[in-house]
Structure 1
Amino acid sequence: MAVTDTAIDRIKDMIISGELAPGDRLPKEADLAERLGLSRNSLREAVRALALINVLDVRQGDGTYVTSLEPHLLLDALSFVVDFHRDDTVLQFFEVRRILEPAATAMAATTMSDVDVEDLRKILDSLPEDPSVEQLVANDLEFHHRIAAGSGNAVLCSLIESLSGPTARARIWRGLTQEGALGKTREQHVAIYEAVANRRPEVARAWATVHVAGVEEWLRQAL
């Protein structure tokens, strides 16, 4: 394992130094192994590991390439790890959401285009008057996704997206058991939208905090 770690570090150094740029093809396996002073087996293991976390893209019959290294690709591995969360850690995910989402919402209030703000309104309007819990949660996830993307920060957006899975089940549970959950969600979404549409970042931040903290506090009491 230590030899494989060394191989990973050496390929990583080539990327960080700019010797290998996004989209570049790696040298042939034999040449690269000799150049790095590694066995071909160690190099293959390193390539497999880096492909799993989307740093490298192995194309059968073509070669191995450095990916685009875009945040959404690199943070996919985080989403994979998050999927293994235990129920007793879901509150911790909400605590992280409460830190990240208000910041993203404040940023969205200053960076979202008018077209994107209008699309946000359409998402709110697309929710039926008497939706099912599944429709409500799907609408909620799409609403928050658009705001995260609207922050203009791809890393922040990817981090928030990775938290969607562990918290979605709690959202459904709340919708099924808490009286007035639909009305609260709809009301707070409208308040967040209006703050974003009116370009009021601190108001948007405050409403996003209230929104996430409300679900968190309900879950804390329910548990």
Structure 2
Amino acid sequence: MPEYLKKINRSSVVQRVIDRLTQAMLSGELKPGDKIPTEMELSEQLGVARNSIREAIKILVYIGVLEIKRAEGTFVCNGFSESLIDPMIYGIILNQQNEQELHELRAMVATGVMRLAVEKCSEEEIAQLKERMIHLKETIMVEHPDVDAVFEADNEFHDAITDMGHNSMISKINAIMRVLTYSTRYESVKGMLESGRKEELYEAHERVYQMIENRQKEGLHQSVEATYFFRVFGENLKV
């Protein structure tokens, strides 16, 4: 009998069913595309009520681990599902009162994105990033820069770096972080422009570009932190 089909204790039954099924996926007992036993079969094998099995399956379907095919049964999903990210989004949103933790997570993800870009980018991609940087400079260095235009150019620059890492899961996680930090990043760009620090704003991004162009891994975290601007108009702001 497979390990995941052994009877389980009564406490926290739904969570234990979830744990048993996910552990079976991690161990390889259940593989992507495999059909899992029916509710009745799982109920009998695990020694728990069908409603607990049903609830556990609902949760695993919601987060994108299982999928139900009508008239066929329930299967382990093949590949990455967008819905896998949803619970993480909600968890981060609910914990945003701790801005320091969010800042640390953002810096960690951004540093990882930079490292992948340095390791994997092609010469063509570096040339494309340079075009994004030139565009960013052009939007920043006009006499009266438009905040929305600069912010959009800034996002395009960072999106290009993310794409250079060629990792779809990290790209999705990084996109979430940029959504969660949207307002602080926007206010930071606005504050830098309105306080006459547009050269500093551009130069921080140029340093990031130079590190990628030179495929320099040392000091990546410090370069990322240099694009998180503080004490603009007495506020703590991040890009």
TM-score range, shorter chain: 0.7 to 0.9
Query: Helix, strand or coil: the match of 1:65?
Result: strand
Structure 2 residues without counterparts, runs of 5 or longer: 1-10
Superposed, 1:126-137 pairs within 5 Å as 126-127=135-136, 129=139, 130=142, 132-137=146-151
Aligned to 2:209: 193
Of 187-196 and 100-109, the range deviating more from structure 2: 100-109
Aligned to 2:54: 44
Aligned to 1:207: 223
State how many pairs are aligned.
Answer: 219
Q: Which has the higher contact order (CA 8 A, sep 6+)?
A: 1
The residue identity in structure 2 corresponding to 1:19 is E
How much has 1:182 moved relative to structure 2?
A: 4.3
How much has 1:170 moved relative to structure 2?
A: 0.7
Q: Which structure has greater helix proportion?
A: 1
How much has 1:116 moved relative to structure 2?
A: 2.7
Match status 1:121 vs 2:95: no
Instruction: Write the distance in 2 (CA, Å) between the matches of 1:157 and 1:219.
Output: 29
Q: Over residues 116-165 of structure 1, what are the superposed CA-to-partner deviations in whole Å (9 max), with x where a residue is unaligned?
A: 32332333344463553233333333432332443455665444333222
Contact preservation (8 Å) 1:83, 1:165:
no
Query: Helix, strand or coil: the match of 1:58?
Result: strand
Q: Over residues 94-122 of structure 1, what are the superposed CA-to-partner deviations in whole Å (9 max), with x where a residue is unaligned?
A: 23323342343134212212233233233
The Cα RMSD (Å) is: 3.1
Instruction: Write the distance in 1 (CA, Å) between the matches of 2:154 and 2:78.
Output: 30
How much has 1:197 moved relative to structure 2?
A: 1.6
Structure 1 residues without counterparts, runs of 5 or longer: none
How much has 1:81 moved relative to structure 2?
A: 1.8
Instruction: Write the distance in 1 (CA, Å) between the matches of 2:64 and 2:22.
Output: 12
Distance 1:34 1:138, change over 3 A: farther
Distance 1:24 1:123, change over 3 A: farther
Aligned to 1:53: 63
Aligned to 1:3: 13
The residue identity in structure 1 corresponding to 2:63 is I
TM-score normalised by length of structure 1: 0.78
Instruction: Write the distance in 1 (CA, Å) between the matches of 2:186 and 2:65.
Output: 35
Identical amino acids, percent of aligned pairs: 25
Instruction: Write the distance in 2 (CA, Å) between the matches of 1:181 and 1:34.
Output: 68
How much has 1:42 moved relative to structure 2?
A: 0.9
Contact preservation (8 Å) 1:192, 1:207:
yes
Contact preservation (8 Å) 1:136, 1:182:
no
Query: Helix, strand or coil: the match of 1:218?
Result: strand
Query: Helix, strand or coil: the match of 2:67?
Result: strand
Instruction: Write the distance in 2 (CA, Å) between the matches of 1:221 and 1:95.
Output: 21
How much has 1:4 moved relative to structure 2?
A: 0.9
